[in-house]
Amino acid sequence: MTSPILISPSILSADFARLGEEVRAIDEAGADWIHIDVMDGHFVPNITIGPGVVKALRPHTKKPFDVHLMISPVDQYLNAFAEAGADILTVHPEAGPHIHRSIQHIKSLGVQAGVVLNPGTPAKMLDYLIDDVDLILVMSVNPGFGGQSFIANQLRKIEAIRKMIEKSGRDIRLQVDGGIDFTTAPLAIEAGADVLVAGTATFRGGASAYADNIRTLRGG
């Protein structure tokens, strides 16, 4: 693979009482993007943050905000998250009635558009979306909580999507999120991922360990 491996630490595993400091710390430690998990307690069984927190975090780093929207219905919140400072908005096909329309809406806001495939969502879902997205996120756990174990059969899906991206000829990032640690990161990269989301593995050991954690995840 020619694309560099990017690390997008999930702040879901950060100290929520010190989120601004944590974002600055992972920025300084070498994070490429900042992954922000937005959960509504409806589409997924957890509640996290809204656009107000994204806006409050924006001054703490210039790194891209990679915002994964696990909310339904999602369309009515796209403008608010773009205005709050998201650089990438990633949505689930199941979170709205018309995924293609959602992708077009995101792009009209001047931010990058991503689509997320849950473990049970087939790669074929991308057949008529791949020409419009900037990022594809494969969930290697069922969304809702951090700290879950990697679902190994998603490696086949990552491989299939990598082939689809290469066939398309487009510059599309392939991201994997869920159970990414020092053991599973190399497997995801080998299967074709070029962006890794890691929460627990990044934030393990406190701020002094973040740089080593990120370097190890990247394969360095």
Q: Which residues are annotated as a binding site?
A: 10, 35, 37, 68, 144-147, 177-179, 199-200
- Confirm whether 177 is a catalytic residue: yes
Choose among 116, 133, 217: nearest CA to 172.
133
Catalytic residue among 37, 75, 134, 181: 37
Residues 194/7, Cβ–Cβ less than 8 Å: no
Residue 101: exposed, middle, or buried by beta-carbon count in 10 A (0-12, 13-18, 19+)?
exposed
Task: Give the CA angle between residues 8, 72, 115 to the nearest 5°.
Answer: 40
Catalytic residue among 134, 177, 181, 194: 177
Q: Which residues are annotated as a binding site for substrate?
A: 10, 68, 144-147, 177-179, 199-200
> Residue 160 has what DSSP assignment?
H
Separation between Cα atoms, residue 1 and residue 25, nearest integer Å: 29
Region label for 5, one of left (φ > 0), alpha (ψ between -120 and 50) or beta (otherwise): beta
- Confirm whether 132 is a catalytic residue: no
* Catalytic residue positions, numbered: 37, 177
